Structure 1
Amino acid sequence: MNHDRFEEPVTVLVGMGLPVRLENVAEAYAMLQDWPATSRSSAHMIALNACKAGIAGEIDAETVRATLVAFARRHNILAPDMVSLAPAALAGRASTSNNG
Protein backbone atom coordinates (compact mmCIF):
# COMPACT_ATOMS: atom_id res chain seq x y z
CA MET A 1 0.00 0.00 0.00
CA ASN A 2 1.29 3.45 -0.93
CA HIS A 3 1.02 5.64 2.21
CA ASP A 4 1.85 8.93 0.50
CA ARG A 5 -1.05 8.70 -2.00
CA PHE A 6 -4.22 10.75 -1.39
CA GLU A 7 -7.50 8.82 -1.16
CA GLU A 8 -8.91 11.38 -3.62
CA PRO A 9 -6.70 13.58 -5.81
CA VAL A 10 -6.77 17.34 -5.40
CA THR A 11 -7.12 19.36 -8.60
CA VAL A 12 -5.74 22.88 -8.52
CA LEU A 13 -5.63 25.59 -11.16
CA VAL A 14 -2.13 26.80 -11.96
CA GLY A 15 -0.51 29.12 -14.49
CA MET A 16 -3.17 30.29 -16.92
CA GLY A 17 -5.88 28.42 -15.02
CA LEU A 18 -4.79 24.99 -16.18
CA PRO A 19 -6.00 22.15 -13.94
CA VAL A 20 -3.32 20.02 -12.34
CA ARG A 21 -4.28 16.82 -10.55
CA LEU A 22 -2.19 16.16 -7.44
CA GLU A 23 -2.39 12.52 -6.39
CA ASN A 24 0.26 12.24 -3.69
CA VAL A 25 2.39 14.09 -1.17
CA ALA A 26 5.40 14.43 -3.50
CA GLU A 27 3.31 16.08 -6.23
CA ALA A 28 1.82 18.49 -3.71
CA TYR A 29 5.28 19.31 -2.39
CA ALA A 30 6.58 19.99 -5.92
CA MET A 31 3.66 22.31 -6.68
CA LEU A 32 4.19 24.23 -3.44
CA GLN A 33 7.94 24.49 -4.08
CA ASP A 34 7.17 26.08 -7.45
CA TRP A 35 4.77 28.60 -5.89
CA PRO A 36 6.06 32.18 -6.46
CA ALA A 37 7.97 33.48 -3.45
CA THR A 38 6.14 36.81 -3.60
CA SER A 39 2.77 35.04 -3.24
CA ARG A 40 3.67 32.77 -0.34
CA SER A 41 1.57 33.06 2.79
CA SER A 42 1.20 31.38 6.15
CA ALA A 43 -1.17 28.90 4.47
CA HIS A 44 1.60 28.08 1.99
CA MET A 45 4.10 27.53 4.80
CA ILE A 46 1.68 25.26 6.68
CA ALA A 47 0.96 23.18 3.58
CA LEU A 48 4.65 22.96 2.65
CA ASN A 49 5.59 21.89 6.18
CA ALA A 50 2.81 19.28 6.11
CA CYS A 51 4.24 17.91 2.85
CA LYS A 52 7.70 17.69 4.41
CA ALA A 53 6.25 15.85 7.42
CA GLY A 54 4.31 13.55 5.10
CA ILE A 55 7.43 12.74 3.10
CA ALA A 56 9.26 12.00 6.35
CA GLY A 57 6.43 9.69 7.43
CA GLU A 58 5.54 11.87 10.42
CA ILE A 59 1.94 12.49 9.31
CA ASP A 60 -0.42 10.65 6.99
CA ALA A 61 -1.27 11.64 3.43
CA GLU A 62 -4.84 12.65 4.29
CA THR A 63 -3.57 15.25 6.77
CA VAL A 64 -1.31 16.61 4.04
CA ARG A 65 -4.27 16.61 1.66
CA ALA A 66 -6.39 18.61 4.12
CA THR A 67 -3.72 21.30 4.45
CA LEU A 68 -3.30 21.37 0.67
CA VAL A 69 -7.05 21.85 0.16
CA ALA A 70 -7.08 24.66 2.76
CA PHE A 71 -4.17 26.34 0.96
CA ALA A 72 -5.86 25.98 -2.43
CA ARG A 73 -9.14 27.40 -1.13
CA ARG A 74 -7.37 30.35 0.46
CA HIS A 75 -5.66 31.17 -2.83
CA ASN A 76 -8.74 30.44 -4.98
CA ILE A 77 -6.97 27.74 -6.99
CA LEU A 78 -9.02 24.72 -5.90
CA ALA A 79 -10.69 23.40 -9.05
CA PRO A 80 -14.40 22.66 -8.80
CA ASP A 81 -15.32 19.03 -8.35
CA MET A 82 -16.22 18.12 -11.92
CA VAL A 83 -18.07 14.97 -10.84
CA SER A 84 -20.52 16.93 -8.69
CA LEU A 85 -20.89 19.62 -11.38
CA ALA A 86 -21.72 17.13 -14.15
CA PRO A 87 -25.37 16.48 -13.18
CA ALA A 88 -26.05 20.23 -12.97
CA ALA A 89 -24.42 20.81 -16.36
CA LEU A 90 -26.42 18.01 -17.94
CA ALA A 91 -29.65 19.33 -16.43
CA GLY A 92 -28.85 22.78 -17.84
CA ARG A 93 -28.29 21.32 -21.30
CA ALA A 94 -31.52 19.36 -21.17
CA SER A 95 -33.56 22.43 -20.24
CA THR A 96 -31.99 24.58 -23.00
CA SER A 97 -32.50 21.90 -25.64
CA ASN A 98 -36.14 21.50 -24.60
CA ASN A 99 -36.70 25.25 -24.89
CA GLY A 100 -35.13 25.56 -28.32
Structure 2
Amino acid sequence: MDRLQFFTPVRISRGQESPAEEIYSVAEAMGFLRKWPIGRRGPVYQCAVNCCSAALAGRMSAEEARKAFAGFARITRLLDDDMTLPMGGENINSVHALRR
Protein backbone atom coordinates (compact mmCIF):
# COMPACT_ATOMS: atom_id res chain seq x y z
CA MET A 1 0.00 0.00 0.00
CA ASP A 2 1.23 3.47 -0.92
CA ARG A 3 2.19 5.53 2.15
CA LEU A 4 -0.07 8.35 0.93
CA GLN A 5 -3.10 6.09 0.52
CA PHE A 6 -5.94 6.40 3.06
CA PHE A 7 -6.95 3.27 4.99
CA THR A 8 -10.59 4.32 4.51
CA PRO A 9 -11.66 6.70 1.73
CA VAL A 10 -13.39 9.99 2.52
CA ARG A 11 -16.79 9.98 0.85
CA ILE A 12 -17.91 13.37 -0.51
CA SER A 13 -21.54 14.07 -1.36
CA ARG A 14 -22.61 17.19 -3.25
CA GLY A 15 -26.31 16.42 -2.87
CA GLN A 16 -28.80 13.75 -3.81
CA GLU A 17 -28.71 14.61 -7.51
CA SER A 18 -24.94 14.00 -7.75
CA PRO A 19 -23.16 10.70 -7.19
CA ALA A 20 -20.89 10.50 -4.15
CA GLU A 21 -17.16 10.82 -4.77
CA GLU A 22 -14.58 8.85 -2.83
CA ILE A 23 -11.18 10.35 -2.04
CA TYR A 24 -8.61 7.56 -1.59
CA SER A 25 -5.31 9.39 -1.06
CA VAL A 26 -3.53 12.54 0.03
CA ALA A 27 -2.92 13.45 -3.62
CA GLU A 28 -6.64 13.13 -4.45
CA ALA A 29 -7.55 15.21 -1.39
CA MET A 30 -5.08 17.90 -2.46
CA GLY A 31 -6.54 17.87 -5.97
CA PHE A 32 -10.02 18.33 -4.53
CA LEU A 33 -8.85 21.19 -2.31
CA ARG A 34 -7.11 22.98 -5.20
CA LYS A 35 -10.46 23.13 -7.02
CA TRP A 36 -12.24 24.65 -4.00
CA PRO A 37 -13.58 28.18 -4.74
CA ILE A 38 -11.15 30.87 -3.62
CA GLY A 39 -13.89 32.88 -1.92
CA ARG A 40 -14.77 29.91 0.32
CA ARG A 41 -11.23 29.17 1.52
CA GLY A 42 -11.10 29.74 5.24
CA PRO A 43 -9.09 28.43 8.21
CA VAL A 44 -10.49 24.88 8.04
CA TYR A 45 -9.62 24.73 4.33
CA GLN A 46 -6.11 26.02 5.07
CA CYS A 47 -5.64 23.45 7.82
CA ALA A 48 -6.59 20.64 5.41
CA VAL A 49 -4.20 22.01 2.76
CA ASN A 50 -1.37 22.34 5.30
CA CYS A 51 -1.88 18.77 6.53
CA CYS A 52 -2.02 17.33 3.02
CA SER A 53 1.13 19.29 2.08
CA ALA A 54 2.88 17.98 5.20
CA ALA A 55 1.89 14.40 4.33
CA LEU A 56 3.16 14.83 0.76
CA ALA A 57 6.47 16.10 2.20
CA GLY A 58 6.69 13.15 4.61
CA ARG A 59 6.22 15.28 7.74
CA MET A 60 2.79 13.87 8.60
CA SER A 61 1.03 10.55 8.09
CA ALA A 62 -1.62 10.04 5.46
CA GLU A 63 -4.13 9.21 8.20
CA GLU A 64 -3.50 12.53 9.95
CA ALA A 65 -4.05 14.30 6.64
CA ARG A 66 -7.18 12.20 6.09
CA LYS A 67 -8.58 13.35 9.43
CA ALA A 68 -7.97 17.00 8.51
CA PHE A 69 -9.56 16.53 5.07
CA ALA A 70 -12.55 14.67 6.56
CA GLY A 71 -12.94 17.52 9.08
CA PHE A 72 -12.95 20.01 6.21
CA ALA A 73 -15.58 17.92 4.40
CA ARG A 74 -17.70 17.70 7.56
CA ILE A 75 -17.52 21.45 8.29
CA THR A 76 -18.43 22.30 4.67
CA ARG A 77 -21.27 19.75 4.80
CA LEU A 78 -19.80 17.67 2.00
CA LEU A 79 -19.04 14.61 4.12
CA ASP A 80 -21.42 11.83 3.10
CA ASP A 81 -23.87 10.87 5.86
CA ASP A 82 -22.53 7.30 5.83
CA MET A 83 -19.11 8.60 6.92
CA THR A 84 -20.48 10.06 10.15
CA LEU A 85 -21.73 6.73 11.49
CA PRO A 86 -19.56 4.70 13.88
CA MET A 87 -17.67 1.82 12.33
CA GLY A 88 -17.50 -1.80 13.40
CA GLY A 89 -20.95 -2.03 14.98
CA GLU A 90 -20.11 0.45 17.75
CA ASN A 91 -22.96 2.42 19.18
CA ILE A 92 -22.85 6.20 19.48
CA ASN A 93 -22.50 6.14 23.29
CA SER A 94 -19.35 4.01 23.20
CA VAL A 95 -17.77 6.33 20.62
CA HIS A 96 -18.50 9.38 22.78
CA ALA A 97 -17.16 7.62 25.86
CA LEU A 98 -13.86 7.01 24.08
CA ARG A 99 -13.53 10.71 23.24
CA ARG A 100 -13.82 11.79 26.90
If the TM-score is normalised by the length of the shorter chain, which range does it land in?
Answer: 0.7 to 0.9
SS of the residue corresponding to residue 23 of structure 2 reads: strand
Q: Look up the equivalent residue of 2:4 and give its one-letter code.
A: D
Specify the alignment match of 2:65 in structure 1: 64
Between the aligned residues of both structures, percent identity stands at 34
Task: Say whether residues 1:31 and 2:32 are aligned partners.
Answer: yes
**Which residue is 1:42 aligned to?**
43
In structure 1, list runs of 5 or more residues that go unmatched.
Answer: 85-100
* Structure 1: 4+ residue segments shifted above 6 A: none
Q: Which has the higher helix share?
A: 1
CA distance in 2 between partners of 1:31 and 1:14 (Å): 13
Say which structure is richer in strand: 1
1:94 corresponds to which residue?
Answer: none
Q: Which residue of structure 1 lines up, in the alignment, with residue 6 of structure 2?
A: 6
Q: Which is greater in Rg?
A: 1
Q: CA RMSD in A?
A: 1.8
Cα deviation 1:31-85 (Å, max 9, x = unaligned): 0000000111100000001111111111000000100111111100001227x6x
Q: TM-score, normalised by structure 2?
A: 0.76
Give the alignment's TM-score, normalised by structure 1. 0.76
